[in-house]
Amino acid sequence: MRMFDADERHAFVTPTRNITMDLTDMLLPGSSEEEDLADVMRPVGPMIAVGIPGEELPHAGAMRMYLPINWKPPVGQLIRNARLVVIELGLGAGTVWEVAEALSVLPPQRLLLIIPEAMTDNEYEQVRRRVGRKLRGHATSRQKVYSGSHRRQALPSRPCSKNPNGQGTGFIYFSDDWKAVSATGYYVPWLPTQDFFAITTKAIAPLFDELKAYEERTGRSWG
């Protein structure tokens, strides 16, 4: 899940090339961040995203589904039923609602938050505050205190600011007691071992282990 205006950015295709820069390398097709993320998630299952209303051709990567104007009920159902929920953080009210909803209803092993490289430290702090307020509103409106809700009241501090030598993407996931685990991956588009696929795979490998252990312990599996 992500803000619609992020689609164009994630659809940008990075040419595949290496340091030798020979003709064969230059002719190889590249891949977008969204395609890379879909490939990273393939062991978990197909990645599904909400499509932009009215778009004629969706970007490559996630499968698209299109929702009615009253989108919160179906999105809430998607969150509950997904094997793993992945949300790219943003300042939009819809994204803040999705994060708060996921924190409210999911076990910790089924949530991954992504901090886009373009997000400033100030913007991240705004997201933290908005999610905290929304979480308190969720608990009040439902008149229900979730187990361990005091541990879900805020996102952690930003794992790390940008690296001037590369583009940094932040990742946040949670251990069994809702303790946040943060990592930052720095990638260089022209270096195959440091592309978006590589740094994401490395950063979230422990999350896949947590998810597997959770499914084995609870007996819930998606096949």
Question: Which of 149, 196, 156 minimizes the C-alpha distance to 177?
Answer: 149
pLDDT tens-place string over residues 154-168:
688 887 655 656 568
pLDDT tens-place string over residues 39-79:
899 888 888 876 555 555 455 555 666 666 778 888 899 89
**How many angstroms separate the first and last alpha carbons of the chain?**
22
Q: Which two tokens stand for residue 209?
A: 């282990």
- The structural domains of the chain, with segments of one domain joined by +, span 4-218
Contacts with 94 (C-beta within 8 Å, 6 or more apart), sequence order: 3, 71
Contacts with 133 (C-beta within 8 Å, 6 or more apart), sequence order: none
pTM: 0.76
Q: Which two tokens stand for residue 137?
A: 């509103």
Backbone angles phi, psi at 204, to 5 degrees: -105, 10
pLDDT band of 191, cuts 50, 70, 90: confident
- 3-class DSSP assignment, residue 148: coil
Map tokens 């997201």 to a residue.
127
pLDDT tens-place string over residues 2-44:
444 444 444 444 443 333 334 334 344 456 788 888 889 988 8
Contact 178, 150 (CB under 8 A): no
Percent of the chain with pLDDT strictly greater than 70: 63
Given a cut of 80, whether residue 149 has pLDDT beyond it is no
